[in-house]
């Protein structure tokens, strides 16, 4: 289920009848609420959070539109989480994701977050964590058998 803090922001002003009216008026569109991950410090908040997205749009196309709208640099990776916990395949359509993950109020909730990547500037704490992770990975890989 979706986190109660995010749900409380939106559910109070959304009525199921309104969603049904929207779906009747725009049958090929999917009602989506998009919000920034609370701990993300890289990306801005979108100017609006409720969208009607064509059901046949792929998640990768949707991600590209979000990247442009957020004015992301090429060194940032964009992550999309459905219901704050599931990363969906970018080859799926919005309709496929909606069928599996729509909330009872009729909306699909998508959270976006970024991570600096691909040689981007890092602070010293991030560098320490990266070095520790790489060291742990090297130690682990030395003990794994090779596949033939």
Q: Rounded mean pLDDT of 96-107?
A: 92
For the stretch 30-80, pLDDT in tens is 999 999 998 888 899 999 999 999 999 999 999 999 999 999 888 888 999
Going along the chain from its start, the domains and CATH numbers come out as: 4-119 (3.10.20.90)
Q: How many CB atoms lie within 10 A of CB 108?
A: 22
CA–CA separation, 110 and 102 (whole Å): 10
CA dihedral 101, 65, 36, 52 (to 10 degrees): -50
The reported pTM is: 0.69
Q: State residue 143's pLDDT score.
A: 46
Strands, E, within the chain: which ranges?
29-36, 50-54, 76-82, 86-87, 108-116
Give the strands of the sheet with 108-116, arranged side by side.
Answer: 50-54, 29-36, 108-116, 76-82, 86-87
pLDDT > 60? residue 141 = no
């Amino acid at each position: 289920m979706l986190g109660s803090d995010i749900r409380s922001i939106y559910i109070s002003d959304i009525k199921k009848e309104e969603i049904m009216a929207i779906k009747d008026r725009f049958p090929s569109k999917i009602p989506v609420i998009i919000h920034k991950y609370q701990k993300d410090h890289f990306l801005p908040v979108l100017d609006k959070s409720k969208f009607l997205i064509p059901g046949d749009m792929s998640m990768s196309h949707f991600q590209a539109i979000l990247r442009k709208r957020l004015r992301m640099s090429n060194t940032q990776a964009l992550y999309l989480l459905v219901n704050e916990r599931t990363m969906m395949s970018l080859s799926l359509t919005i309709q496929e994701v909606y069928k599996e993950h729509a909330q009872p109020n009729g909306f699909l909730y998508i959270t976006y977050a970024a991570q600096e990547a691909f040689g981007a500037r890092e602070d010293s704490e991030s560098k320490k964590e990266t070095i520790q992770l790489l060291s742990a990975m090297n130690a682990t890989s030395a003990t794994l058998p090779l596949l033939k």
